[in-house]
Amino acid sequence: MPRIHEYFLFTLHQHHFKVNLFNLTLKLKGFPIERAIRDLAKIQSKTSVEYNTYLTSRKQDIVAHHLKYNTFYKKITKNIDTSNWNNLPVLKKGDLQIPLEDRLSNGFTRKNCHIHKTSGSSGTPLIFAKDKYTHAMSWANFIDRYGWYGIDASTSKQARFYGIPLSGIGYYKERFKDILGNRFRFSVFDLSDTQLEWNLKKFKSTPFEYINGYTSAIVQLAKFLEKKEIILKTICPTLKVCIVTAEMLFEDDKLLLEKYLGVPIANEFGSAELSLIAFNNSKNEWLVNTEDLFVEILDENDNPLPYGNEGRIVVTSLYNLAHPFIRYDLGDIGTLNKNSTPQKPILKHVVGRTSDIAILPSGKKAAGLTFYYITKTVIEDDVNVKEFIIEQQTLDTFKIIYTSKTPITEFKIKAICKAIEAYLEPGLTIHFERKNKIKRTKGGKLKQFISFVK
């Protein structure tokens, strides 16, 4: 006899809901989603002059609130001229890793907030809070952006490529959320040909409207489609868009996805703490969320950089009254396009996390993804290699771990080493290790570059 949880999930799957269960659930939990959607539209309708006034006001208001009601924020801004935005401290995850109760504003508790935590893929997880209106605004943003591609974020059928706890309460909680959100979750832990073949059968029999999930897993699906010479939209004609998130999207991978999925590719950039930060529109502009966030690019000394300059991505939540996310350093490095404006900043690219920087024997620093990208360009035409990651083991020693049907040829190995020497510096030792399977994080992400050098 199946356990009661399994029977409950099975029964829900069989029932056809006519109502928007997800929005209904938000409202029942006290998240004012309808108000947030209305407010979002009002912000978007502002002229550039009105928007600048709005942004200045929101920045002042959120700082004033936390200076008055948040003991933690009062403490870290002591003896600082808080009237000057650039004087405000830049918060890092480590600054916030104290008990949540010590960071909440007066009047807010675990019971009247949305409590969540980061995945911990870049280190220790961070537990944080959002007031209910802020959480509703986050969802209003997702609903708005998905609508650009004809998707109803709450009711359109989603093919989901995310991780999931493999057992326990966490497993059933995620499955239940999948039902409420009208989505089917595919495994990102098993990307074997057998599993991918089963995935195709599911696409044939299910009217999915969009794909959403980790870039690396969806790229593996596209490579499988390429091998089978199948365009996914031909077997799933209801498909409208693919939204990739949580991992880097390289241009050649985007072209592969567009060709073999047969739909536009939207690149979603966000974080658990701030939710949606940037999203591709149909013109391929990576538009920054300016409705409930303020995004800055800062140098190593916390000074704002002009548009077009690469630096640390620092974000402020303009509405979160429960918990201060004011000038919060995501740990990511990126650039805003030179054509950006305060009302319409365009994210040019994100090159990875500050923790993913490779320090070379000469003292030179390079984004760890440089190694990944160089290697990728050499082996991309080799359908033999499925996935690979780069590890920096010592200052001058790197390991390329890969999965493939047959070992990489000596010719390819020499080409990779030569390319790394040309792009970075000579004298580096590169080891290659072939495995049957590459270990992903507990959440199912593929961490493409890892440095063990302190």
Residue 84 makes CB contacts below 8 A (sequence gap 6+) with none
Please report the sign of the dihedral spanned by the C-alpha atoms of residue 53, residue 56, residue 62, residue 67. negative
Residue 4: exposed, middle, or buried by beta-carbon count in 10 A (0-12, 13-18, 19+)? exposed
Q: Tell me the residue type at 330.
A: L
Residue 323's nearest CA partner among 114, 89, 125 is 114
Q: What are phi and psi of 373, to 5 degrees?
A: -70, -45
Contact between 238 and 207 under an 8 Å Cβ cutoff? The reply is yes
Distances (CA, A) of 291 to 41, 131, 144, 219, 262: 9, 17, 11, 31, 31
What does the DSSP assignment read for 146-168? HHTTT--TTTS-EEEE----SSH
Say which DSSP state 384 is in: T
d(CA 215, CA 218): 5
pLDDT of residue 171: 77
pLDDT reported for residue 62 = 98
Structure tokens at 317: 């939540």
- At 371 the three-state DSSP class reads helix
CB neighbour list of residue 49: distance below 8 Å, 6 or more residues apart:
none
CATH top class, domain 360-451? alpha beta
* Residue 355: partners with Cβ closer than 8 Å, 6 or more residues away: 122, 123, 331, 451
pTM recorded for the entire structure: 0.81
The helix/strand/coil state of 333 is strand
User: According to CATH, where is 3.40.50.12780 located in the chain?
Assistant: 33-353
pLDDT at position 438, please? 85
102 vs 434: CA distance, rounded Å:
47
C-alpha distance across the termini of the chain, in Å: 53
Sign of CA dihedral 165, 215, 416, 428: negative
Report the pLDDT value the prediction gives residue 124, as an integer from 0 to 100: 56
Helix (H, G, I), strand (E, B) or coil at 65: helix
On whether the CB atoms of residues 177 and 201 are closer than 8 A, the answer is: no
pLDDT in tens, the chain (454 residues): 334 333 333 333 433 443 466 677 777 788 899 999 999 999 999 999 999 999 999 999 999 999 999 999 999 999 999 999 999 999 998 899 889 999 999 999 999 999 988 765 544 568 899 999 999 999 999 999 999 999 998 789 999 998 776 667 877 888 888 888 889 999 887 888 888 999 999 999 999 999 999 888 898 899 999 999 999 999 999 999 999 988 888 888 999 999 999 999 999 999 989 999 999 999 999 999 999 999 999 999 999 999 999 999 999 999 999 999 999 998 888 999 999 999 999 999 887 665 567 888 988 877 676 777 677 767 755 557 888 888 999 999 999 999 888 898 898 899 889 888 887 889 999 999 999 888 877 667 778 888 888 7
Q: Which helix (H) or strand (E) holds 288?
A: strand 286-288
According to CATH, where is 3.30.300.30 located in the chain?
360-451
Question: Which of 3.40.50.12780, 3.30.390.50, 3.40.1280.10, 3.90.1300.10 would CATH assign to domain 33-353?
Answer: 3.40.50.12780
Cβ atoms 328, 277 nearer than 8 A: no
Angstrom distance (rounded) from CA 200 to CA 151: 22
